[in-house]
Amino acid sequence: MAEGKTDDPGGGSAVRDQLMEQLNRQRTAFRESRSGTDYAERMVALKAMQEALYKYRHEYVEAVSADFGGRAPEETLLLEIFVLIDEIRHTRRHLKKWMKIKWVMPNWQFLPSRTKIIHQPLGVVGVMGAWNYQLLLTFGPMIGALSAGNHVMMKPSELAPRTAELMQKMISETFPPEYVTVITGDVDVASAFSTLPFDHLIFTGSTRVGKIIMRNASEHLTPVTLELGGKSPALVAREFPIGSGARRIVHGKFSNSGQTCVAPDYAMVHVDQLDTFVAEARKVIEEFYPQLVGSDDYTRIATKRHYDRLVSLVNEAREKGAEVLAVNPAGEDCNAENRVFPPTLVWNCPEDCTLMQEELFGPILPIVTYETTEGAIDYINDRPRPLALYYFDRDHERTWQVLTETISGGVTVNGCIYHLPQNNLPFGGVGDSGMGAYHGFDGFNTFSKKKAIFHQSRFASTTLLRPPYGFLARFIIGTLIRNWPTLDLVRRYRKGK
């Protein structure tokens, strides 16, 4: 891989040169450690990270809330701090097993030779996070990278600056900079970061920026994991209790005000149940959020720009004839200044509305109707592959049909979002929603080189297959491919020459 600026196509800017220096320091430290960190060192690092997260939990709650202009402390503690600590605990419990040499059977023809796989650290891993769950999406990949023995450079999003600064402070107190470091800065820094010749780069963000990242990384053939977004459907079978479906979808959608990559983007309900679903969803929203502006439980929209985008999406849908219901139980003043966007249900929305095309990433729930399960499956398959799919049904056969006839990053059946924090499930998208996966063993695996090793035996039959080829070699080849006439062909070919 390129070392220094001479064969470094992305080189040039002052910001990038500084980042490159930091990367070179990490690479040197990695190389000096000979084989990456060993088991004991990785365990120490993971424990230190766990303790630091615990120590800083209250400060994170405050920083995240300040960045959003208001977010429920419970959501930061549950959906970020807890999930991270739980993944560290899981990793510490299983790391020894994951790091074990894996002996596998060689092809019988090569017996008694032996074959094995070792997981080797890649070197320095770059992590680029997104603002919506800044801690989870930056530290989550880092846990995988550290467990695999790598050094790590992280670039959190500039849209959550207080959280990013606190992350930098915590990491610099916990780890030496040649081992783990946090880089803060604006989009130019992010852009320069993505051109560095990392040994692996993991990016979480939009599909649009994901394409830029992949292009930048391709200069150095840096392998990438892209954790992107998309329109994740929540499909409710006609037979499923509609009230229960509405409750679970509303919870998944409006937590963090829809600013969740795996939030259900739109609901699909049977055409006969549209009115009931709208009524039930409205009831649940009113129950969850009796107040919006006056509530600590209802998250603000991250920036005014994001807020204005949501307003224009709803306005366009309304102008094109969609039914729109903004649920604002206490009749409060929700505006771009306080960035409180009311939970909004939209139905009968024409397909050419931006709302039906782009990932919403906000508290707007379009409701689409279907007539048959096959029709619903076709609707989903006609669109880019989603990050998540939610299916609500108690019929096993139909559930299996939906699971096998649609393609998505992951699925929760009869619920929303819960496949994400599972330590034993790979998390990642497919097609437009991303590539690669992490979490638990899959993180360890993604940030390791699975090295294939073959130990040649002194007595292997392969020694009989060396030139000059005689009767014995031809006899063995004929036996291997189980085709005796081949032998004659070879003989005739040789004679003809």
Q: Is residue 468 reached through a cis peptide bond, with omega within 30 degrees of 0 on the bond before it?
A: yes
Q: Which among 63-71, 174-182, 187-195, 340-348 is the span making contact with ligand NAD, rule CB under 6 A?
A: 187-195
Q: Widest CA span of the chain, in angstroms?
A: 95
Choose between 189 and 340: whose C-beta lies nearer to ligand NAD: 189
Choose between 106 and 129: whose C-beta lies nearer to ligand NAD: 129
Residue 254 CA to residue 264 CA, distance in Å, equals: 9
Does 134 participate in binding ligand NAD (rule CB under 6 A)?
no
For the bound state, the minimum distance from the C-beta of residue 418 to ligand NAD, rounded and expressed in Å, comes to 15
Active site residue 359: no
Does 183 participate in binding ligand NAD (rule CB under 6 A)?
no
Q: Check: CB of residue 239 under 8 Å from CB of residue 394.
A: yes
Query: How would you label 300-325 residue by residue, b for 16+ Cβ within 10 Å and e otherwise?
Result: bbbbeebbebbeebbebbeebebebb
Q: Rule CB under 6 A: choose which of 132, 222, 256, 446 binds ligand NAD.
A: 132
Does 206 participate in binding ligand NAD (rule CB under 6 A)?
yes
Choose between 37 and 191: whose C-beta lies nearer to ligand NAD: 191
Does 205 participate in binding ligand NAD (rule CB under 6 A)?
yes
Does 229 participate in binding ligand NAD (rule CB under 6 A)?
yes
Does 195 participate in binding ligand NAD (rule CB under 6 A)?
no
Residue 54 CA to residue 58 CA, distance in Å, equals: 8
Q: Please, which contacts does 166-174 make with residues 24 or more away whose CB atoms are closer than 8 Å?
A: 166/56, 166/59, 166/60, 166/63, 167/134, 167/135, 167/138, 167/139, 170/52, 170/53, 170/56, 171/52, 173/52, 174/48, 174/49, 174/52
Choose between 187 and 330: whose C-beta lies nearer to ligand NAD: 187
Does 257 participate in binding ligand NAD (rule CB under 6 A)?
no
Q: Which residue, among 92, 91, 81, 75, has the nearest Cα to 53 in the 3D structure?
A: 81
Does 158 participate in binding ligand NAD (rule CB under 6 A)?
yes
Q: Which two tokens stand for residue 167?
A: 């992350």
Does 191 participate in binding ligand NAD (rule CB under 6 A)?
yes
Please tell me which residue in 178, 227, 280, 359 is annotated as part of the active site.
227
Does 344 participate in binding ligand NAD (rule CB under 6 A)?
no
Q: E-strand spans in 123-213?
A: 124-128, 151-155, 180-182, 200-204
Binding-site residue total for ligand NAD (CB under 6 A)? 28
Q: Check: CB of residue 194 under 8 Å from CB of residue 201.
A: yes
Does 130 participate in binding ligand NAD (rule CB under 6 A)?
yes
Q: Which two tokens stand for residue 172?
A: 């610099």
Q: Rule CB under 6 A: choose which of 75, 199, 227, 432 binds ligand NAD.
A: 227
Q: Which two tokens stand for residue 9?
A: 């196509």
Does 87 participate in binding ligand NAD (rule CB under 6 A)?
no
A 10 A CB-CB count for 222 gives 20
Does 228 participate in binding ligand NAD (rule CB under 6 A)?
yes
Which residue type is seen at 482?
R
Q: Rule CB under 6 A: choose which of 204, 225, 273, 328 binds ligand NAD.
A: 204
Does 201 participate in binding ligand NAD (rule CB under 6 A)?
no
**Beta-strand relationship, 344-347 and 364-370:** parallel
For the bound state, the minimum distance from the C-beta of residue 137 to ligand NAD, rounded and expressed in Å, comes to 5
Active site residue 261: yes
Does 164 participate in binding ligand NAD (rule CB under 6 A)?
no
Residue 375 CA to residue 369 CA, distance in Å, equals: 10
Q: Is residue 112 reached through a cis peptide bond, with omega within 30 degrees of 0 on the bond before it?
A: yes
Residues 358 to 417: which contact ligand NAD by CB under 6 A? Answer: 359, 361, 387
Q: Is 208 exposed, middle or buried (0-12, 13-18, 19+ CB in 10 A)?
A: exposed
Does 190 participate in binding ligand NAD (rule CB under 6 A)?
yes
Does 235 participate in binding ligand NAD (rule CB under 6 A)?
no
Q: Which two tokens stand for residue 113?
A: 């030779």
Lay out the site mask for ligand NAD across 260-299 (x = CB under 6 A, - = otherwise).
Answer: -x--------------------------------------
Does 157 participate in binding ligand NAD (rule CB under 6 A)?
yes
Q: Which among 226-234, 309-317, 440-448, 481-489 is the span making contact with ligand NAD, rule CB under 6 A?
A: 226-234
Choose between 250 and 302: whose C-beta lies nearer to ligand NAD: 302
**Beta-strand relationship, 233-236 and 388-392:** parallel
For the bound state, the minimum distance from the C-beta of residue 238 to ligand NAD, rounded and expressed in Å, comes to 29
Residue 178 CA to residue 26 CA, distance in Å, equals: 4
For the bound state, the minimum distance from the C-beta of residue 402 to ligand NAD, rounded and expressed in Å, comes to 21
Q: Interface with ligand NAD by CB under 6 A: which residues?
A: 128-132, 137, 157-159, 187, 190-191, 194, 204-206, 209, 212-213, 227-229, 261, 359, 361, 387, 429, 434
- Catalytically active residues are 227, 261
